[in-house]
Amino acid sequence: MPNYTATYTDLYQLSMAQVYFNENHHSQKAVFDYYFRKNPYQGGYTVFAGLETLLENLNDFQFSKEELDYLAGQHFEAKFLSYLKDFRFRGSIYSVLEGDVVFPNQPILRVEGSLLEAQLIETFLLNMLNFQSLIATKARRMRYIAPDGVLLDFGLRRAHGPGGYYASRAAFIGGFNGTSNVIAAKQFDIPVSGTMAHSFVQSYDDELQAFRDFAQNRPKNCVLLVDTYNTLKSGLPHAITVAKEMEERGEKLMGIRLDSGDLAYFAKECRKRLDEAGLSYVKIAVSNQLDEYVIKSLQEQEAPIDIYGVGTNLVVGKPDAALGGVYKLVAYNEEPRIKISENIAKITMPYSKQVYRLSLADGPWIGADAVALFDETEFDSIYHPFDQYKSMKIEHLEKEALLQPVMLNGERCHAPKSLQAIADYSAKRFAQLPLEYKRFSNAHHYKVGISKKLRDERDALIKQYKTI
Amino acid sequence: MPNYTATYTDLYQLSMAQVYFNENHHSQKAVFDYYFRKNPYQGGYTVFAGLETLLENLNDFQFSKEELDYLAGQHFEAKFLSYLKDFRFRGSIYSVLEGDVVFPNQPILRVEGSLLEAQLIETFLLNMLNFQSLIATKARRMRYIAPDGVLLDFGLRRAHGPGGYYASRAAFIGGFNGTSNVIAAKQFDIPVSGTMAHSFVQSYDDELQAFRDFAQNRPKNCVLLVDTYNTLKSGLPHAITVAKEMEERGEKLMGIRLDSGDLAYFAKECRKRLDEAGLSYVKIAVSNQLDEYVIKSLQEQEAPIDIYGVGTNLVVGKPDAALGGVYKLVAYNEEPRIKISENIAKITMPYSKQVYRLSLADGPWIGADAVALFDETEFDSIYHPFDQYKSMKIEHLEKEALLQPVMLNGERCHAPKSLQAIADYSAKRFAQLPLEYKRFSNAHHYKVGISKKLRDERDALIKQYKTI
């Protein structure tokens, strides 16, 4: 799969890098924060994903001779290109752990390195973290609403080209049980699953014969698609016949799949007839434009569904389809940096910072994180970033530092984590988030406050730039 | 970039393939159609893209030893895996040419081959064609509304991982002028462009010095980002100063970029001040959540904008984010095949077919295509697929056959086309589409009619299956 070389970037990163190089700024120390301003899906949280992908590919983020030749043809200078020949990312990365729940306007990951290297990786970093976080969050919303359902990703055919590879990875982090995507399953060790297509049934003159052949060739995990011609008059009776024949061979039909029509109605009707036929063990799988709202509705109607196959809406993260994460310079040459904006929410937060998750002494999260200067140890209150009248005492609370070193001077700090370990951690963290942040409508606003020192330092910088 | 091996598929394709193999159906001849049921963006057309990507990667669609070992671990049988070792796609593909405008419920591409090979490529084919067509269509909508604007793709950071590579390709087919995406530009020979980021300005103590350094290092194609601190009080005056200094060196500032605030207001104000300073040649570029509607609004306000940098909404194809193209079995073992559905629009169209674009003798398209049996030569009327009272005489019209052989028995019929040639063809074809199909609201419905013979044969098949 993709080889992420250093032209996996926007041209302006290279244009700026050449200026840095020529002006001899390129080795100055720079600090960038990755964060976003709005949770996707009008929700109350975001599941952070993509970190492992970023870390494992940074080593390949180099320029090949062919790439340098291309850049030479784009008017880059020989001296600069010769410097790029040996380019490697040798910076440091501090990050929230992959799978954790994160919130708007808090640093999720910080890059420290030379100005040139920290700038060059921006596009790749955003490309990977934004997308996977979008999809992991979508998956988590479905897992939340169907805690006992089997959730399967069937989306590769509607994914954004090879983006589907990472959609399957992110869906597993967000709580999905498996995927139909073979290459992703193989790479990331995700349980792989699937049923049959309409074309299989169509290729036979006779639906019953199609089911028989499938069951005989695939006695384990056999799921029959029953809606090619007529679900209740043809597909289901044929599936029951085959299930009975399987019983005679000492086998068990695993399930049937419904892919059209009113899924609640058909699931109930099929469940009833399966039960009447003594086939209460046969599971019911559904698919067809599912998302968290359709699944919620099916559950509210008490549709007896065991397995949800989710495609398009999962893998493209509809309706948002993008997470607007940004990567902003917060310090340069040991000095804090800020970007002013007419939109107050878009003013950046200067300095290297740490983020603390706040909880009561006996464990429960309180629904607020604190952002402070990185080396700030003592602070007993947090403040709303812009509303001077809002503050909260936090001296009695536990503070868990979220930004941990994951790469130091280009070397990873830990062995790669398995996807299963990341998914387990994600489930654990999500379980700690209070319910009011999980609902689909008007989710409670998780607070991200800042320390007094950070607020004061930032305000001084704003004043300084406002006088320009 | 991605290596598309044969596990780039859904598991069920392999499950079904094993049954076909065991039952000795795998070599039977099968015909599949690719089509979609609804234009994206509630529009009146779709730009077909992704064909060249499909064709050039089908050769690599093979199983490596490592992949076969993985499948062995997933309970596939040794005899079947041994057969897959030599798997190559050796089928034939007939397709609309890449870049053409296409419409719902017409075959856009037809695959003929053994049942096994035609089935195995389904997921990859859909993954590539659906996504690139979605993005090419989005791009075309912006090109349509800004015929003279320079349109640049800046979206990689918000794209779906490596899907961004193909988003840049598809945007160029849809009429974009260039991209910031270096690796895609290099691969597909797309003009590459970019300006500077806020971080560049922030890394200096002084905005003016930042602009000076950038201009000195990049005298050609120099575009200055003017909104880091204050557009009208700081950014623009500094840009004018630098433009004047460039003039003294015999150079010309190419442009300024606005990335926040009210773009119409700022563009007008900047244009006025630039003109007053004798800098009427300095172009104005804008970015920040653009899409076809924002561009339309900017044009209606007569905002003097020369260059549009479009990111998120282009590369993720918002708000649709997916094109629901499907791949359906229409013939097997020389017999027509159909899938019945309670939703009449979802009943498939059996038989190998040809699609004809209808035009008047002197050229103009009439807003209708005809679908007929592939070997049908004489037909003088077309019929609505389901409304028996709607038909149209077409004997006086020119009929251009759209499905052309592009691969025969696994061999490409033509040399690969350059992306520029595809984009040129796309622009030419779009220009032939009458205006009423191009508007954003309530676009006219382009007719896709079927021949009498096709209708009668399909109806006979429906009857046959309804009696089951």
The vertex-B397 CA angle with B395 and B401, nearest 5°, equals 105
Chain B CB contacts of A192 below 8 Å: 11, 74
One domain, residues B224 and B276: yes
Mean pLDDT of the residues in chain B: 95
Q: What is the CA radius of gyration of chain A?
A: 26
Specify if B281 maps to a domain.
yes
CATH number at residue B191: 3.20.20.70
For B65-79, B265-279, B334-348, which range has the lowest pLDDT when averaged over its residues? B334-348
Residue B440 lies in a domain: yes
Say whether both B340 and B298 belong to one domain: no
Residue B217, domain member (yes or no):
yes
Average pLDDT score over residue span B213-240:
95
Query: CB-based burial of residue A300 (10 Å sphere; 0-12 exposed, 13-18 middle, 19+ buried)?
Result: exposed
Which chain B residues are within 8 Å of A318, Cβ to Cβ? 321-322
Choose the final residue of a domain: B315, B336, B364. B315
Residue B30 counted as domain residue: yes
Low-confidence ranges of chain A (pLDDT < 70): 1-2, 467-468
pLDDT for residue B464: 86
Instruction: Supply the pLDDT for residue B339.
Output: 87
Interface of A with B in 13-52 (CB under 8 A): 13-16, 18-20, 22-23, 25, 28, 30, 32
β pairing state of A178-179 and A150-153: parallel
The alpha-carbon gap from A355 to the nearest alpha carbon of chain B, in Å, equals: 22
Instruction: Report, in angstroms and rounded to the nearest whole number, the Rg of chain B calculated over CA atoms.
Output: 26
Q: Is B255 on the interface with A (CB under 8 A)?
A: no
Tell whether A115 is covered by a domain: yes
Best A29, A52, A160, A339 residue to mutate vs chain B (most B CBs within 10 Å): A160
- pLDDT tens-place string over residues B360-399: 998 899 999 999 999 898 899 999 998 888 999 999 999 9
Domain carrying residue B258: 137-315
Confidence of residue B97 (pLDDT cuts 50, 70, 90): very high
ipTM of the complex as predicted? 0.96
Mutate to test the interface with A, among B53, B61, B127, B216 (most CBs of A within 10 A): B127
Q: From CA A165, how far away is CA A160, in angstroms rounded?
A: 9
Are B163 and A158 a contacting pair at CB < 8 A?
no
> A468–B218: do the CB atoms touch at under 8 Å?
no
Contacts of A227 in chain B (CB under 8 A): 341
d(CA B430, CA B102): 10
Sign of torsion, CA B404 B410 B413 B417? positive
Name the A residues in 180-239 with CB < 8 Å from any B CB: 180-183, 185-186, 192-200, 202-203, 207, 213-214, 217-218, 220, 227-230, 233-234
Mean pLDDT along residues B162-181? 98
Q: Does B306 touch chain A if contact means CB atoms closer than 8 Å?
A: no
Q: Where residue B1 falls among pLDDT bands split at 50, 70, 90?
A: very low
The answer on B338 and B287 residing in a single domain is: no
Q: Is A158 on the interface with B (CB under 8 A)?
A: yes
Instruction: Sort out which chain A residues have CB atoms less than 8 A from B323's CB and list them.
Output: 158
Where does the pLDDT of residue B343 fall: very low under 50, low under 70, confident under 90, or very high at 90 and above?
Answer: confident
Chain A residues closer than 8 Å to B338 by CB:
202
Q: Tell whether B156 and B277 lie within a shared domain.
A: yes
Check CB contact of B431 with chain A, cutoff 8 Å.
no
Q: Given an 8 Å threshold on Cβ–Cβ distance, is B157 in contact with A10?
A: yes
Q: Which residues of A touch B209 (CB under 8 A)?
A: none
- Are B433 and B362 in the same domain? yes
Q: Give the gap in angstroms from C-alpha A93 to the nearest C-alpha of chain B.
A: 18
- Residue A23: CATH number of its domain: 3.20.140.10
Q: Looking at B274, B291, B315, which one is the last position of a domain?
A: B315
B229 and B327: one domain? no
pLDDT of residue B341: 76
| B297 and B342 assigned to the same domain | no
- Region B42-71: what's the mean pLDDT? 96
CA atoms within 13 Å, Cβ hemisphere of A233: 9
Distance from CA of A284 to the nearest CA of B (A): 17
Nearest residue of A to residue B465, measured between CA atoms = A229
Continuous segment of H or E residues that includes residue A327: strand A326-332
Start-end of H helices in B235-302: 236-248, 263-276, 292-300
Statement to judge: residues B204 and B297 lie in one domain = yes
Residues 313-342 on A with a CB inside 8 Å of B are 316-319, 321-324, 328-329, 332-333, 337-342
B141 and B236 assigned to the same domain: yes
Classify residue B363: in a domain, yes or no: yes
The pLDDT assigned to A132 comes to 98
When pLDDT is cut at 50, 70 and 90, the band that residue B467 belongs to is low
Domain count within chain B: 2
DSSP alpha helix (H) spans, A35-105: 51-57, 65-73, 78-84
pLDDT at B143 over 80: yes
Is A71 part of any domain?
Answer: yes
In sequence order, the β-bridge partners of residue A405 are A94
Structure tokens at A92: 């440091």
Give the tens place of pLDDT for each residue, A263-291. Answer: 999 999 999 999 999 999 999 999 999 99
Contact: B213, A19; criterion CB under 8 Å:
yes
Residue at a domain's end among B315, B333, B356: B315
Give Cα separations from A335 to A21, A395, A452, A457, B216 (angstroms): 20, 29, 19, 11, 25
pLDDT for position B214 = 97
Q: Dig out the tokens for A30 from the structure.
A: 């720079």
d(CA A366, CA A436): 11
B284 HSE (CA, 13 A, CB side): 25
Residue B1 in any domain: the answer is no
Burial of B306 (0-12, 13-18, 19+ CB in 10 A): middle
Instruction: Collect all residues of chain A within an 8 Å Cβ-Cβ radius of residue B131.
Output: 159-161
Residues B239 and B112 in one domain: no
**Same-domain pairing of B47 and B131:** yes
Looking at the partner chain, which of B74, B183, B203 has a beta carbon nearest the beta carbon of A192? Answer: B74
For B228-255, what is each residue's pLDDT tens digit? 999 999 999 999 999 999 999 999 999 9
Whether residue B214 sits in one domain with residue B270: yes
* A167 near B CB under 8 A: yes
Cα–Cα distance for residue pair B195/B180, rounded to 1 Å: 9
Inform me whether the C-beta atom of residue A94 falls under 8 Å from chain B C-beta atoms: no
